[in-house]
Structure 1
Amino acid sequence: MSPNTLQRNAENKAGPSSIGTELEFFVAVRRDDWSQPTVPKLFASSEGNPLVAPEAGSRGTALETYAIEHVRHTIALALEKKLRVKTRVIASPQDLDDREARHLGPYMSWTVEREGTASMPEDILGQPGVSDYMWVDLEVKSPALWATDDAFVEILDVVQALQQTYWICTPPSTALQFHYGWGKDYIPFRNLRRIAALLYAVDPLLAQLHPQHRRNNTYSLSNRLYSVLAHGSTEPDANRDPEAPETKLVSPDRRCEGGDSQQEAKVQGSTEFKTVFARGMLTGYDISAHTFYLTDPDTPLSLGPVRAPRGYGCKPLGILTAVREILHCTTAPGLSKRMETPGGRPAYDFGAYADSRYMRETPRQRQQPKRTIEFRQAAGTMDPDEVVAHAKIVVHLCEWASTADLAEFWKLILDCEAGESTPSWFDVFDLLDRLDLNAEARILQRSIAPRYGIEILDEDAGTATYPETLDPKAWNWDRRTIM
């Protein structure tokens, strides 16, 4: 076995995955003036309550400060009497003496601060009783946690405590974000490259998990549609890597054994979960190919309520070609550049590996550049199970990309490429099933179904009621095989 092969085998592991989360939400606050304001319908069945501040000195910023301190105290209570040191990447201040750990100084514990960019929409403020309260925008950040069961329990405990204590609102202006890393270390370049390639391919499928306002958003633009790579950036042939085959791969609709396009041996049914969605029901990026052909290259593209970066004069690079280009990439800064989205933030942000940050230090010893990949597209939610489900998906995607056999890796890439052009072939629930994430799929289906007017009747049986506009009889369920 050659030294290069030995090195690749040694690298073919997930490593010590770490995860961090950022929760954005509003809490209701009012002064204790002995009045009995109306309970908004939105919170009629809420487990929590509005935060009532003492009347003295409780105006403006004082209310905001009171809310921040109260939420900090609630988190501290949720975590007390539980040994959490083993979940922390930085377990004590002494750990920061390690030069490689200094960038994690701000991420030793849970923090609470003003979010600063989110706003409460008028349609919510206009509901009876809602405007009787001050709504304070908050951002809660977790410490850097080792991606273990104990860490996911910790995240669950914190979110659950907040949900049970306060009236919480997560309007469309809020988001749920995650940071995936390797503890204090940089993610090895081979793993980083594999993760980028997979995320580029699954981007259109993962978008099916998220509401429309997160798909077409300048804070979480599609890497698949709007990255530098999507519009033609490549590396010279001399830098090619053997992980990206030169041969033209057979498309999925022509590779079923026996030539039967209805056979689908690749997608095994789950014994635990039966989705209420037929393939093709879920929507993703609602942008047609002709959108990218511009008569005036300086004219911004319309993305619904927002405007996309300027200068896109052709449709984006195909998934297979782009994945090959990612696997050809030979430097972390080069990879970061290809995954960035000019004029906005990408859904999957590799900015920590940009040339201006990667392997560099700043004058302030305890404020060094991050070393994580940021997942930015999930909508704001304070449902504890949803938050943890998203966190587990993030970790598993990155670990699977890092460890998968190359043949299996390309097999999934091919199915993602086919799923983008033919949604009836492969969707996000097939993806989650392939990655053994059926428990997480079950949880997230609960939040997806209402967006389509679907009421789930029996999760185990996969039965539901559908709106007239989504008649299940009009869809082909034959290939959604459940064992």
Structure 2
Amino acid sequence: MANRTKGDKEKLSFGIEMEFFLAWRAESFTGTVPAPPGVQVNPGAPLVVRGRWENAGDRVGALALIIDEAFPSPEGAVAPLDKNAINYGDREWTHLQGYRRWSVVDDVSLRALPKELADRSDKDFGWIGAEIVSPALWATNEGFDEVRRMCDFLQRHFWIFNSHQAGLHVHVGNGNEWLPLNSLRQIAALLYAADPILAQSHPKHRYENAYCTSPRLYSNVSFGLVNPVREPVQPAPPTEVAQVERPSRYAQVITRVQNLFQHFKSHPEPSKDDKVTKKVRFPTRPATGAYNLDQDTVQGALWDLGGDYQGPHNAQSYEPVPLITAVGEILRSADRHSIARMMGIGLRRGAYSFAQLERETKRTIEFRQAASTVDPIEVVTHARIAVGLCRFAASASHNALMQVILDCEMAEGNPSWFDVYDFLSEVGLTPEAKIVQAVLSGTLTDDMRKEYWLSRNHVPRL
């Protein structure tokens, strides 16, 4: 990929949030906790809760104590555990104070047990929803190995049920700093354009989920919101040295950007046989896209937009603006708040959430659409995809970024020409594409696991 990128690669960081249901029992309970079909009960066991167990906080707290003891010092962490090493009262570090080690939280969205577990729980045994949150980790083999180690631990010690209502979230950031503004623009533009294609890498219950809706269909920029155009203001002479965000290099060239797309579009379509590496045998490309426009979601977005939306308020008349128009608007955003506004979806969080750009509590982009899992290879694969997409977009040359976005635009009208496996391969994520395909088709083997770990310079272990 060296000829497709410019400058140095961003030094990225990441974090994960794994949601799932966990079997538990009170220490005094000596019976057997019923397990639903499909749950691997060996070599793990239900979580033993000592002392109080009456409420969800007690049970989740018991898991938190075990995790805290088993993972006292995370490998590859961005923020050190030693409070004396970093001033966490400083604005540049305070947002990472809660992300220095593994933690377990009681997720309110998992309070209601799914039907598979509802009749397998009682007052002193059963199943509990939990969310495990990683520290902020550098996007290195050391950081990814830390995630793999946690997943191995969970599989080895507990019974876990991955429900449709649970998910796997990946946050991507720039250590303790903000991602550069131009990197944010290019990442947002790529994720917006690729959203319908990336949805193909997830099961249907995730890409049709109200908690990770499509930015291509329902974000503010899809409804036609634009960045404000203001007359330039002459700045007053500076009284002190200040850091100024570099203005968008796309801000005055939207017409040229669109002309560039037309230039690429005039080229003949490449042969389908040449779109991916010959050694990789992916399934037949889809005949239709993954997403279908949901009228209720459209109506909800219209209510959230209120007076900011000037188009037809009849949900049945709504169509997202052309992809190239929206991409151009994202690329000319003047600051990170404008990017968050373009990518926002009312009160909802989309499949790729930029909401954290408007606040100091986190400085990350959140990937929300992956399904619940604690399988080490699946979790690491989704983490590497999130990091890899951000790294490619942040470091891609102007022409390279536009070519990939154009492929996504052409795929909207012709899904059989370019699919998620083509896309992942094009941005340097072929090993991850192979794992995604195997997971979706139920064909993941031990040999494929070994091949993947070796391809990413991890020690294979089974």
Shorter-chain-normalised TM-score: which range?
Answer: 0.7 to 0.9
Instruction: Give, in whole Å, the separation in 2 of the partners of 1:230 and 1:36.
Output: 52
| Deviation, structure 1 residue 349 | 1.3
Instruction: Give, in whole Å, the separation in 1 of the partners of 2:264 and 2:285.
Output: 16
Give the AA of the match of 2:114: P
| Deviation, structure 1 residue 216 | 2.2
Instruction: Give, in whole Å, the separation in 2 of the partners of 1:458 and 1:113.
Output: 32
1:269 equivalent in alignment to 2:261: no
Cα 1:191–1:298 shift into 2, 3 Å: closer
Asked if the contact 1:120–1:171 (Cα under 8 Å) also holds between the matched residues in 2, the reply is no
Give the AA of the match of 2:291: Y
Give the AA of the match of 2:341: K
Q: Specify which of 89, 99, 119 is matched with residue 79 of structure 2.
A: 89
Q: Specify which of 26, 29, 34 is matched with residue 30 of structure 2.
A: 34
| Deviation, structure 1 residue 22 | 0.8
1:336 equivalent in alignment to 2:353: no
Instruction: Give, in whole Å, the separation in 2 of the partners of 1:234 and 1:147.
Output: 34
1:401 equivalent in alignment to 2:393: yes
Q: Specify which of 115, 118, 122 is matched with residue 122 of structure 1.
A: 115
| Deviation, structure 1 residue 149 | 0.5
Counterpart in 2 of 1:250?
262
| Deviation, structure 1 residue 202 | 0.7
Q: Which moved more, 1:245-254 or 1:440-449?
A: 245-254
Asked if the contact 2:81–2:100 (Cα under 8 Å) also holds between the matched residues in 1, the reply is yes
Cα distance per residue 1:81-123 (max 9 Å; x no partner)? xx74543334531313443111111111111121111232214
| Deviation, structure 1 residue 172 | 1.1
SS at structure 2 position matched to 1:184: coil
Asked if the contact 1:274–1:459 (Cα under 8 Å) also holds between the matched residues in 2, the reply is no
Cα 1:430–1:458 shift into 2, 3 Å: farther
Cα 1:338–1:49 shift into 2, 3 Å: same
Counterpart in 2 of 1:379?
371
Instruction: Give, in whole Å, the separation in 2 of the partners of 1:140 and 1:185.
Output: 24
Unaligned runs of 5+ in 1: 1-9, 301-309, 358-367, 461-483
| Deviation, structure 1 residue 13 | 3.7
1:134 equivalent in alignment to 2:129: no
Q: Specify which of 278, 292, 308 is matched with residue 286 of structure 1.
A: 292
Give the AA of the match of 1:121: P
1:69 equivalent in alignment to 2:69: no
Q: Specify which of 195, 201, 222 is matched with residue 193 of structure 2.
A: 201
| Deviation, structure 1 residue 397 | 0.4
| Deviation, structure 1 residue 409 | 0.9
Give the AA of the match of 1:88: V
Q: Specify which of 23, 30, 33 is matched with residue 18 of structure 2.
A: 23
Asked if the contact 1:71–1:162 (Cα under 8 Å) also holds between the matched residues in 2, the reply is no
| Deviation, structure 1 residue 130 | 6.5
Counterpart in 2 of 1:210?
202
Give the AA of the match of 1:73: I
Instruction: Give, in whole Å, the separation in 1 of the partners of 2:109 and 2:190.
Output: 30
SS at structure 2 position matched to 1:229: helix
Cα distance per residue 1:253-293 (max 9 Å; x no partner)? 7522xxxx56248624253x322x211168511238x9999
Instruction: Give, in whole Å, the separation in 1 of the partners of 2:263 and 2:412.
Output: 12
Q: Which moved more, 1:212-221 or 1:145-154?
A: 212-221
| Deviation, structure 1 residue 396 | 0.7
Cα distance per residue 1:320-344 (max 9 Å; x no partner)? 1111111122222111111100131
| Deviation, structure 1 residue 154 | 0.1
1:102 equivalent in alignment to 2:94: yes
| Deviation, structure 1 residue 382 | 1.2
Instruction: Give, in whole Å, the separation in 2 of the partners of 1:446 and 1:140.
Output: 25
| Deviation, structure 1 residue 133 | 3.8
Counterpart in 2 of 1:479?
none
SS at structure 1 position matched to 2:373: coil
| Deviation, structure 1 residue 350 | 1.2
| Deviation, structure 1 residue 457 | 8.8
TM-score (normalizing by structure 1): 0.76
Asked if the contact 1:326–1:335 (Cα under 8 Å) also holds between the matched residues in 2, the reply is yes
Instruction: Give, in whole Å, the separation in 1 of the partners of 2:445 and 2:83.
Output: 50
Give the AA of the match of 1:284: A
Instruction: Give, in whole Å, the separation in 1 of the partners of 2:340 and 2:37.
Output: 46
TM-score (normalizing by structure 2): 0.79
Give the AA of the match of 2:54: G
Instruction: Give, in whole Å, the separation in 2 of the partners of 1:112 and 1:15.
Output: 29
Instruction: Give, in whole Å, the separation in 1 of the partners of 2:29 and 2:141.
Output: 44
| Deviation, structure 1 residue 11 | 8.7
Cα 1:105–1:425 shift into 2, 3 Å: same
Give identity over the alignment, percent.
32
What number of residue pairs does the alignment pair up? 410
Cα 1:459–1:267 shift into 2, 3 Å: farther
Instruction: Give, in whole Å, the separation in 1 of the partners of 2:410 and 2:296.
Output: 20
Cα 1:331–1:67 shift into 2, 3 Å: closer
1:49 equivalent in alignment to 2:55: no
Instruction: Give, in whole Å, the separation in 1 of the partners of 2:314 and 2:136.
Output: 37
Give the AA of the match of 1:104: L
Counterpart in 1 of 2:455?
none
RMSD: 3.3
Instruction: Give, in whole Å, the separation in 2 of the partners of 1:144 and 1:225.
Output: 31
1:324 equivalent in alignment to 2:336: no
Instruction: Give, in whole Å, the separation in 1 of the partners of 2:288 and 2:42.
Output: 30
Counterpart in 2 of 1:478?
none
Give the AA of the match of 2:271: Q
SS at structure 2 position matched to 1:224: helix
Asked if the contact 1:175–1:381 (Cα under 8 Å) also holds between the matched residues in 2, the reply is yes
| Deviation, structure 1 residue 432 | 1.0
1:429 equivalent in alignment to 2:421: yes
Asked if the contact 1:74–1:161 (Cα under 8 Å) also holds between the matched residues in 2, the reply is no
Cα 1:404–1:42 shift into 2, 3 Å: same
